Amino acid sequence: MIDKEVTTADEAVADVTDGATIMVGGFGPPGQPTALIEALLRKGVRDLVIINNNAGAGGAAISDLFAAERVRKVICSFPKAIGSTVFDELYLAGKIELELIPQGTLAERIRAAGAGLGGFYTRTGVGTELTEGREVRRIDGVDYVFEAPLHADFALIRGHRGDRLGNMVYRKTGRNFGPIMATAAATVIAEVDQLVERGELDPETIVTPGIYVDRILDVTRHNEEARR
Amino acid sequence: MTRLTREQIAARVALDIPDGSYVNLGIGVPTLVADFLPSDREIILHTENGLLGMGGAAIGDEIDEDLINAGKIYVTETPGASYFHHADSFAMMRGGHIDVCVLGAYQVSQSGDLANWRTNSPTAIPGVGGAMDLAVGARKVYVVMELLSKTGESKIVSECTYPLTGRACIDRAYTDVALFEFGGERPLVREIYDDITLDELIAQVGIPLDDGR
């Protein structure tokens, strides 16, 4: 029997170690796996490399992880955030490393890793300082720059509904990086608003097939338990 | 002085967006363009975080915690909207499926280079977001900005001194003073709004401009 359900966020992230590279879903608050990030903070792991669109924005949990100086390096497209100066202070004090990647290239590098590709050539960033020193290839008269796949040890993502096989659907703009991160990490841990019985999700609408997901947490039930 | 306001610039851009277009609007003044799209045209707005068919800002009961735009503001969805993940969203942009994007700019060069993601300030936090993808991917790249910086320098320059977002990617720059078109040997002045002559505009910008009016 396949049962990927975990009942607590702490159990879900129990094997994350210091120095791990972790993809974290979310673009702003939607899609941010808050309960899993909080568990990561409680676990106390450090020297983390975080791959996210932003750098500590999108909610208190991710902001706290940065503020606690658990993150050695962030790989993102847009570290600036309205209403959060945590990253700015760490960065200007030289306490955190930043690898800045154009957003579409970040997404496609993740997708390439998950799809088993050795990289791709893109026009994005050609002739800019973000691609300096990298291989440029002219294809049909147009310059493209080479981008390598981006893998991670873990992906922490959030969906709307899921089942014990790991099948998932998302909700509105909460989908963002979840489906691609689910394909690109060695261990994929998801939290969902609601875990349903096998067979309840319409196969035609499943966005992340369960094959990609290793652990799945019903975050509503988890939060109710935590309050008791 | 009859320079255009930010709203008037946005309204001017809106006139150039044809019926049936798929459009991405950047953060700031570009977002205002949505308020001026002619109601008799069916125009679909794309937001990089995975939505086609974005509606206006969400107010009160309309707010859904899972529905925001690229500026992380609560928005609404329109009938016929669709959601997709980030790699698909940027494939739409890079793949030439977005008809028009409207972006802000720090500088625009005479050859249509765009600089809009980073200043040279040592204390500024660099952030690029989706700007480089839009610059190379959208079929038409429109820039909106004030022609002069706060210190009175032209933002249309011979060569950008700020780090580039993309090379020779801009089609038009809509400013408070004039409308410029790129792609030729020199920028082409399409419209002048201020009570100045072309020669006075050339003196302000400081580089040769062609008259395309």
Q: Where are the domains of chain A?
A: 5-9+17-104+150-227
The pLDDT tens digits of the residues spanning B35-53 come to 999 999 999 999 999 999 9
Other C-beta atoms lying within 10 Å of the C-beta of residue A20:
21
Total length of chain A: 228
Domain residue ranges of chain B, discontinuous segments joined by +: 6-211
Residue of A nearest to B46 (CA): A173
Whether A102 sits inside 8 A of B64 (CB atoms) is no
Mean pLDDT rounded to a whole number for chain B: 96
Q: How far apart are CA A41 and CA A62, in angstroms?
A: 9
Query: Is the separation of the CB atoms in A144 and A136 below 8 Å?
Result: yes
> Among A37-46, A180-189, B8-17, B25-34, which is the least confidently predicted range?
B25-34
Q: Would you say the pTM of this structure is higher than 0.90?
A: yes
pLDDT beyond 70 at B161:
yes
C-beta atoms of A127 and B66 within 8 A: no
pLDDT surpassing 90 at residue B28:
no
Which sign, positive or negative, has the C-alpha torsion B200, B4, B165, B212? negative
Instruction: Indicate the residue type of B148.
Output: L
**First-to-last C-alpha distance (Å) of chain B:** 20
Residue A103 near residue A28 (C-beta atoms within 8 A): no
Q: Which H or E run contains A193? A: strand A185-196
CATH topology of domain A5-9+17-104+150-227: Glutaconate Coenzyme A-transferase (3.40.1080)
pLDDT on residue B1: 61
Q: Of A53, A77, A108, which has the smallest distance from its Cβ to B87's Cβ?
A: A108
Residue of B nearest to A175 (CA): B85
Tens-digit pLDDT profile for residues B116-148: 999 888 888 899 999 999 999 999 999 999 999
User: Cβ distance A169 to A160 under 8 Å?
Assistant: yes
Write down the pLDDT at residue B145. 97
Assign a CATH topology to domain B6-211. Glutaconate Coenzyme A-transferase (3.40.1080)
Alpha-carbon gap, residue A189 to A166, rounded angstroms: 9
Residue stretches of chain A with pLDDT short of 50: none
Q: What's the pLDDT band for B20 if we cut at 50, 70, 90?
A: very high
ipTM for this prediction: 0.96
| Residue A44 CA to its chain's centroid (Å) | 19
Element (H, E) at A154: strand A152-163
**Separation CA B44–CA A4 (nearest Å):** 40
Residue A219: the pLDDT is 97
Tell me the shortest Cα–Cα distance from A66 to chain B, in angstroms.
Answer: 16
